[in-house]
Chain A
């Protein structure tokens, strides 16, 4: 009893901090975006009354629908490649001896210490026409002329995969860490071969990690506008580029806001799916 009273000031401070943070830095900015999305474009003040849904109607303009679909395609490809690399990577990582595991995870995290913009420029140096990769290939005699790598869709996907792969590996690693060896043995013991065990036990038990990884890769992959800017030749490849252009170049804030709300809704949908998959395993949702 005494203790809980003594703890009150600390509790209050923590609660104020958390709620204050969420209110001013998460809820308020998002409400501003929602507000901006239903207002009218104004060259002088950026936004003005009256309220309307023009910005959302504009989203269905075939031009932007195309960008959205193209962006979704790029993001989906990125996510798929991250998953194909990340899944076996995380599985192998979870099976390595504990002390080496820590080192490998450390190595996975080290690139985060360098700004992603800088790392993307580094990638540009490698992929450029007279860059590292081309000169390496030609000095090996594999190619006669430099190959056009930069300013292609492929270069953008490579860039996105490079930046986002750790976000796929880490949640997958955490579910593989929880995957108990004896559960796999039990599956074999009961007559399931490798494939049946993978399908019936490994996949369902790692699904929350897959969804968490997809969540952390798919949406950022639609929004990382500087990657196409640097590696893709400044075309509107991603929704992120559209949003950036609406705010900074076209000065159409309501439309930029509406586009970012669509992304937020996609995120909410994925989080809902993730929660469902966790509940199926009998764990508390996030």
Chain B
């Protein structure tokens, strides 16, 4: 049973004549963890700032629990923000930072003390109340910022790339912690990130944004396994794009020619015609690397191998020069499983694990977008 908590409809915003958001609409459910994911400049931060009230849309409305808050200033919105660089008040102690919002509400002293202590306990910082922000580590400052925002018991917590300044290990810890907090508090979290891995592991739903448009809205699994378009497929996770061409259509099945192989696949959700070019998308873990004398698959040779601990990632160059990424789990029955560079192999995939996309008008991606997507992955 879900109900809409915040809804944005027809939101447009321009900065210096450049369109950042264009006629964007989005409904956020009460209690969900929703992530705005996209490369820098996609409009995700602007969207979050509009929810907080730091930016006003040129057109469109923002409603919270049915009330129009489009023009409401940030101090009157029952939402709180966790800023990218924490934005703690440097002249106040941890206690005073967390108490600030409650003091603004003119709560009685005793209640403030109790609620601040409770919030600090929740982020395990009870013993740091007297410290100044500059005496804390980055991770601790982050916790103070979270405590300061949740102590007001907002209807919604807005998090603007809150983990981007932390190192990898701490980031993983905080991801788990944020999920725990969200479960315990039952508050709706709107989380902005450019890190697709973070988005996949934390969210109930992901909004993939590019150039101010929503590319896809769905669960992490939908976004990863059934990307709506080429951008989403490239931005979220690694993908092999195989060029395919429709050779036969028979009811719910179609035949597609991929690298000279004729594979029978199920009918995609879009309309196909004979000889139509298609993208056959395969994640590296969908690829099977076979022995060179196998009858299936396409011939190629190993050009790169990366030992990843639990998987062996390799790149295979096919005879036409295109490269295929493969990621295989170690096989316990074959302890010698490994490749050497230059080794001849054949490449195939498990039937039914492919995902088909129609070719789009604006392909291929420009270099700039490739770079942005690359940046986001690392």
Binding site for B on A (CB under 8 A): 180, 182-183, 185-193, 196, 200-201, 204-205, 280-282
Contacts and interface: CB of A to CB of B under 8 A. Distances in A.
Nearest to B73: A188
Given A185-B74, A282-B132, A282-B134, A192 B91 contact: no
Contact of B91 (A188, A190, A191, A281): A281
Task: Give 4 nearest A-B pairs by CB, closest first.
Answer: A190-B101, A191-B104, A182-B87, A186-B87
Given A282-B132, A282-B134, A282-B135, A188 B89 contact: no
A190 B104 contact: yes
A233 B79 CA distance: 63
Interface residues of B, number: 29
A282 B100 CA distance: 19
Contacts of B79: 189
A189 B82 CA distance: 10
B54 interface: yes
13 contacts: A182-B85, A183-B89, A185-B54, A185-B87, A189-B52, A189-B53, A190-B101, A191-B75, A193-B75, A204-B91, A205-B91, A282-B91, A282-B134
A196 B132 contact: no
A170 B84 CA distance: 30
A186 to B, nearest CB: 4
A183 B90 CA distance: 9
B104 A196 contact: yes
A191 B153 CA distance: 12
Nearest to B98: A190
B91 A182 contact: no
Contacts of A201: 89
A282 B83 contact: no
Contacts, number: 72
A182 B74 CA distance: 13
A183 B132 contact: no
A188 B77 CA distance: 10
A9 to B, nearest CB: 38
Interface of B: 52-54, 73-76, 79-81, 83-85, 87-91, 100-101, 104-105, 132-135, 148-149, 152
Nearest to A190: B101
Contacts of A191: 75-76, 101, 104-105, 152
A204 B54 CA distance: 23
B219 to A, nearest CB: 29
Given A282-B90, A282-B135, A190 B100 contact: yes
A186 B91 contact: no
Contacts of A205: 90-91
A204 B89 CA distance: 10
A193 to B, nearest CB: 5
A205 B132 CA distance: 14
Contacts of A189: 52-54, 74-75, 79-81, 149
A8 to B, nearest CB: 35
Contacts of B81: 185-186, 189
Nearest to B52: A189
Nearest to A203: B91
Contact of A280 (B83, B85, B91): B91
B83 A185 contact: yes
B319 to A, nearest CB: 54
